[in-house]
Chain A
Amino acid sequence: MKETTLVQRAYTAVLEHFVKTGRAPHYTELAATLGLRPEEAREAQRKAAEASIACWFVKDTDYVESWAPFSNVPTHYLVTINGDPKWYG
């Protein structure tokens, strides 16, 4: 698969995971979603963050901290959708 396509798919998959669950996937979950080996998913996720705006990781880790417009850590911006308060902005 072309790298730009893979990176785009990783970006979209993380965002869709947020929309569905309220949190980011770990890269091993992303690997399962995209049919990749874990290390391939980790690299694709990192490149997706670098190629986008306002997506980053917890310092010195591979854990997503923010994937705009969502936060993967609790903030003082609680987002409720259809009565379900499970997202943070």
Chain B
Amino acid sequence: MLAVRWLFPRTEIRIDTCCLDCGQPILIRMHDEEIFEVNPATTVGHMNILFAKALTGEVTWGKAVSRMNLFRSEEHVKNWSHYDPVSAESIMPLSNWATAFSGPLFRNRLEPDYLTRVMDYASEMLLSLKKLGKAGPFWIPE
């Protein structure tokens, strides 16, 4: 949902959600490049299924996306009843997830040739993940 901002340029976006562990609220406010409020500040993003499996089609995007969530902190992720320890390396601060969701795969969705370029854009996202130190089999198909 962090990529919504690229479809509403120069507009403030507010996301209200809640932690799947404790049910308490999480608030994000952002504007183009800037995420100017994250409450609580300890909020992290997490993906409870191998991202690589979504890229290869081993799991559906529906399954993958629904297992991509925000939590009030890393401790809340690990306390969550559905937490899979294999997914530990996907726990990242919101700023890292925002970086991962800032490439052309997300920014260029309204471009008239988007679909012909989407796989190239996906490759660029993998490079972006590598720069964040996320280059293992959790992220990149073997």
Q: Which residues of B contact A (CB under 8 A)?
A: 1-4, 7-8, 11-18, 20, 60-62, 64-65, 105-106, 109-110, 112-116, 118, 122
Bound complex: CA A75 to CA B8 (Å): 20
Q: Which residue of B lies closest to A67 (CB)?
A: B109
**Interface secondary structure of A, over-half rule:** mixed
**Residues of chain A within 8 A of B65, CB atoms compared:** 54, 66, 68
Instruction: Give CA–CA (A87, B1) in the complex, Å.
Output: 10
CB neighbours of B17 from chain A (8 A): 76-78
User: How many angstroms between the C-alpha atoms of A47 and B102 in the bound complex?
Assistant: 25
Decide if A8 touches B60 in the complex (CB within 8 Å): no
Does A51 have its Cβ within 8 Å of any Cβ on chain B? yes
The answer to whether residues A52 and B118 also contact, given A68-B65, A69-B4 and a CB cut-off of 8 A, is yes
Q: Does A53 contact B (CB under 8 A)?
A: yes
The one of A48, A54, A66, A81 in contact with B8, judged by C-beta atoms closer than 8 angstroms, is: A81
A81 CB, min distance to chain B CBs, angstroms: 6
Nearest-neighbour CB distance to chain B for A63, whole angstroms, equals: 13
Known: A53-B61, A56-B62. A78 touches B15 (CB 8 A): yes
